[in-house]
Amino acid sequence: MAQSSPGDPIPDGTSAHERPGVYSTPGAGFERDTRYLTTRITADGRDGWPVEPGRYRLVVSRACPWASRAIVVRRLLGLEDALSMGVCGPTHDERSWTFDLDPGAVDPVLGIERLRDAYLRRDPQYARGITVPAIVDVASGAVVTNDFAQMTLDLSTQWTAYHRPGAPDLYPDALRDEIDEVADEIYRDVNNGVYRCGFAGSQESYDRAFTRLFTALDRLEERLTSRRYLVGDTITEADVRLFTTLVRFDVVYHGHFKCNRDRLTDLPALWAYARDLFQTPGFGDTVDFVDIKRHYYEVHRDINPSGIVPRGPRVGAWLTPHGRQALGGRPFGDGTPPGPVRADERVPQGHGAE
């Protein structure tokens, strides 16, 4: 990893979702750059980009936890016909995520091999991270936004005209303040917490990060012991944001990022909660464990110089009974679960928890 100071410009070519703005200097902690393209796609087009079905393409990698949020929300809301999705492979070179999963290694809609091309269409001098998720304007080929946190909120609140019948309300008005508070803690101490451990630049910064992460997980364990979901009695944006870290915890973060006080399977409420969500349509059917492991273990050569990808752990336990129904709650509230995953978006056989 290049040595930088938190105020330094991000060098060209930092392409992984964890690379942009991640600084780990001797004695220092972890800092993620948050200088995203914050243009919003809204119902009223206030930023010049109105919601229009078929106009945009969501570009993701199933390996990336930030992109996985968008994959889950898009599926729960039934936006497949309104917002197409391009899937990058789990690994990349120093320049960019690539479309190596597609025939000819070219995205069939955007006609590009590298996501970097879409960023340079937006700004030929773009020198920040080439991150996923990104939403691209198909006609111009330019990235509109890569602001992953706002992106999923806008899918819930700005794209309502194109939600499927029975789509859940993932960001209900009455609960937004609590959702925001819980989601902020999750982002700060859990989503980013695992990275603070993995990319710590000193023993001291690692120790601080480790304590902070597991203190947060202990709070969540207590919270979820008596309630099925994080906020209210239905699935919300907060649950999506926690799930994408939990589903990677034992397969990557426990060993690769040294987050090893406990496995997820050692935390009864969190483990049952995570299985409950995994078995809910829209969550587990988007998870690709093979891509997740390949990305972290092959790309992070500073942490794993050999590039060897571990065979384990077993993932079949994600399908075992969780018993969370006893706590009440209705996953989709007054709505309904999404239908089967469309054929062209299914996780490859053998990559899930079959």
Q: Give the pLDDT confidence of 251-293 residue by residue, as tens digits.
A: 999 999 999 999 999 999 999 999 999 999 999 999 999 999 9
Beta-carbon contacts of 304 under 8 Å, excluding residues fewer than 6 positions away, are 256, 296, 297, 298
Spell 261-283 as b/e; 16+ CB within 10 A means b: ebebeebebbbbbbbbbbbbbbb
Position 242 in a domain: yes
Asked if 297 and 304 touch (Cβ cutoff 8 Å), the reply is yes
Beta-carbon contacts of 294 under 8 Å, excluding residues fewer than 6 positions away, are 63, 90, 91, 309
Q: What pLDDT score does 28 carry?
A: 52
Beta-carbon contacts of 149 under 8 Å, excluding residues fewer than 6 positions away, are 187
- 64 is known as an active-site residue: yes
- The dihedrals phi and psi of 68, each to the nearest 5 degrees, come to -60, -30
Asked if 87 and 80 touch (Cβ cutoff 8 Å), the reply is no
Q: What pLDDT score does 33 carry?
A: 61
CA dihedral sign of residues 94, 98, 101, 106: negative
Position 104 in a domain: no
For residue 184, pLDDT beyond 90: yes
Position 25 in a domain: no
Position 201 in a domain: yes
Do the strands 142-145 and 56-61 form a parallel or antiparallel pair, or are they unpaired? unpaired
Q: Give the burial class of 223: count Cβ atoms within 10 A of its Cβ; 0-12 exposed, 13-18 middle, 19 or more buried.
A: middle
pLDDT single digits (tens) 201-216: 999 999 999 999 999 9
Output 326 or 33, whichever has higher pLDDT: 326
Output 26 or 233, whichever has higher pLDDT: 233
Asked if 36 and 123 touch (Cβ cutoff 8 Å), the reply is no
Q: What pLDDT score does 93 carry?
A: 80
The proportion of the chain whose per-residue pLDDT surpasses 70, expressed as a percent, equals 90
Token reading at 32: 């993620």
Position 351 in a domain: no
Catalytic residue from among 64, 88, 197, 259: 64
Angle CA(267)–CA(270)–CA(274) in degrees, nearest 5?
130
* 9 CB neighbour count, 10 Å cutoff: 10
**In the predicted model, what is the mean pLDDT of residues 321-332?**
97
Distance CA 107, CA 86 (A): 7
Any idea how long the chain is? Answer: 354
Which of 109, 113, 70, 65 is closest to 88 using CA atoms? Answer: 113
The proportion of the chain whose per-residue pLDDT surpasses 90, expressed as a percent, equals 88
Distance CA 32, CA 160 (A): 31
Q: What pLDDT score does 34 carry?
A: 65
Q: What pLDDT score does 29 carry?
A: 58
Average pLDDT for the chain: 91
Q: What pLDDT score does 164 carry?
A: 98
What would you measure as the largest C-alpha separation in the chain, in angstroms? 55
Position 183 in a domain: yes
Per-residue confidence band for 136, with pLDDT thresholds at 50, 70 and 90: very high
For residue 171, pLDDT beyond 80: yes
Q: What pLDDT score does 31 carry?
A: 60
**In the predicted model, what is the mean pLDDT of residues 45-61?**
98
Is the pTM higher than 0.95?
no
Q: What pLDDT score does 2 carry?
A: 27
Output 127 or 64, whichever has higher pLDDT: 64
Catalytic residue from among 162, 171, 195, 229: 195
Do the strands 84-88 and 142-145 form a parallel or antiparallel pair, or are they unpaired? unpaired
Position 248 in a domain: yes
Domain interval for residue 303:
173-345
- Number of structural domains found in the chain: 1
Per-residue confidence band for 14, with pLDDT thresholds at 50, 70 and 90: very low
Q: What pLDDT score does 30 carry?
A: 55
Q: What pLDDT score does 8 carry?
A: 25
Q: What pLDDT score does 35 carry?
A: 76
- Report the range of poorest mean pLDDT among 92-96, 126-130, 166-170: 92-96
CATH number for the domain harbouring residue 304:
1.20.1050.10
Identify the residue whose tokens are 């587990």.
284
pLDDT single digits (tens) 305-319: 999 999 999 999 999
Position 87 in a domain: no
- 195 is known as an active-site residue: yes
